[in-house]
Amino acid sequence: MVLTLGLLIASVAVAPPPAAAQSGPAHAGGPRIIINSDLSLWWDDATAIGMANVLAQRGQLRLLGITSDIQNPLAVAAMDAIDTAYGHPNIALGAVAHSDANSAPHGYTDDLVAKLPHSVHSSANVPGAVGLLRRLLAGQPDHSVTIVAIGAYTNLAGLLRSKADGHSRLGGRALIQAKVKRLVIEDGLFPGGAPALTNQKLDPASAPPVVNGTNWPTPIAWVDGTTGIQTRVGGALCSTVPANNPMRIVYESRFGCGPPGDGDWDGPTLLYAVGGKQGLFSELGKGGAAYINSGGGLSWRTDPRRPHDLFVHVANQQALNNRIDALLGAR
């Protein structure tokens, strides 16, 4: 999702998927991933979900589920449209509480829903995000799941405070500690810090329970706001993929067929979560941790309580852009 710092923007008939995609995501290997997204308006959420589908098909990740953390009831329908277009109609989806309030801008979600097949029609068709997170985590081996957070903190905070239920006898924090390997978050501007940026602004009250102290019981990697500024990708989609490609639909909705009109923060976050540095990223700030600063945003400081946290910057911008463009254009 797009990050803004002050005034700076650091911001129908559809052809079937390729034959290799007909059987759904490959499950042979790769990290187990859950994506928490505010897909609705910012195009990079769509790129992360599209790339996750491609990597799942190639057996490079296991996409367990996707939760929406934005009050757009069509967000989950748009997610399902993307998944279905890649041949993966059964990926579990969950909606943030009170999605029916419909208070978030729809952006390109309406275009995806109008132009692509989907079986989920609104948040009324899927479980609540926190309940889905509990179910998905309970079914996985210990210390095996990477949560990729590319939106608000609402569902993460809700998971932390959740109680034992039919899925697990563990409370939220204990369930996270048992099942989650790492949380990868797109937010912040490190090491110098920044006021609250977009992901935090979406639900300011939910950020402190996740960020403060040792509340979140696993290592956290922060893919920060420097990562997306020059990650301008997707510009060839209108000439290289069919009109019914979901990445092209989103790109056209946001930018026409002109040059990329914004950076991409969530695509890099997904790539880092799946493959680590890969020669694309650097890992910095070890021995420190994010904290809520006096301006209400995030800063970085030494923190012996969180020895495994770090923040991530781009190490090879051109290679990163090329990698994302190749995945966005995959058919």
11 domain residue, yes or no: no
State the Cα–Cα distance between residues 95 and 129, nearest whole angstrom.
Answer: 5
Q: What is the pLDDT of residues 288-323, one digit of tens each?
A: 999 999 999 999 999 999 999 999 999 999 999 999
Q: Token pair for residue 66? A: 């996707």
For residue 93, the one-letter residue type is L
Please check whether residue 71 lies inside any domain of the structure: yes
* pLDDT attached to residue 331: 76
Model confidence at 43, pLDDT cuts 50, 70, 90, reads very high
6-26 pLDDT, tens digit per residue, is 323 333 233 333 333 333 454
In a domain, 268, yes or no: yes
Does residue 3 lie within any of the structural domains? no
Residue 150, in any domain of the structure: yes
Can you read off the two tokens belonging to residue 11? 């911001």
Across the range 102-115, mean pLDDT stands at: 96
CA distance 203 to 38: 11
> 3-class SS at 7?
coil
The residue among 97, 185, 111 whose CA lies nearest residue 146 is 185
What pLDDT is recorded for position 28?
Answer: 55
Give the pLDDT confidence score for residue 10 in this predicted structure: 34
Using an 8 Å Cβ cutoff, are 133 and 93 in contact? no
Nearest-angstrom CA–CA distance, 213 and 290:
9
Domain coverage including residue 233: 22-328
d(CA 67, CA 81): 14
pLDDT score of 259 more than 80: yes
Q: How many domains does the chain have?
A: 1
CA angle (69, 221, 302) in 5-degree steps: 120
pLDDT, one tens digit per residue, over 137-178 is: 999 999 999 999 999 999 999 999 999 999 999 999 999 999
Mean per-residue pLDDT, 76-82: 98
Residue 279: phi and psi, rounded to 5, are: 75, 0
What pLDDT score was predicted for residue 248? 98
- In this prediction, residue 25 carries a pLDDT of 53
| Polymer length of the chain | 331
Q: What stretches of the chain show up as alpha helix (H) in DSSP?
A: 43-57, 75-85, 109-115, 129-138, 154-160, 172-179, 198-201, 207-211, 237-240, 246-255, 266-275, 317-328
Collect all residues with Cβ–Cβ distance below 8 Å to 186 and sequence separation of at least 6.
Answer: 1, 3, 149, 150, 199, 222, 223, 224, 227, 265, 266, 269
Instruction: Give domain status of residue 185, yes or no.
Output: yes
% pLDDT > 90, the chain: 91
- Is 15 within a domain? no
Phi, psi of 170 (to 5 degrees): -85, 145
Question: pTM of this prediction?
Answer: 0.92
Q: Confirm whether 10 is domain-assigned.
A: no
Mean pLDDT to the nearest integer, 51-55: 98
Three-state DSSP at 303 gives coil
Backbone angles phi, psi at 138, to 5 degrees: -60, -30
Peptide bond into 191 cis (omega under 30): yes
Q: Residue 74 is encoded by which pair of tokens?
A: 């069509």
Q: Can you read off the two tokens belonging to residue 73?
A: 């009831």
Q: CA 225 to CA 197: how far, in whole Å?
A: 9
CATH code of the domain covering residue 178: 3.90.245.10
Write out the two tokens for 242. Answer: 């069919």
pLDDT at 23: 36
| Closest residue by Cα to residue 274 from 55, 36, 53 | 55
Mean pLDDT (the chain, rounded): 92
Contact call for residues 207 and 235 (beta carbons, < 8 A):
no
Q: Which amino acid is located at 114 in the chain?
A: A
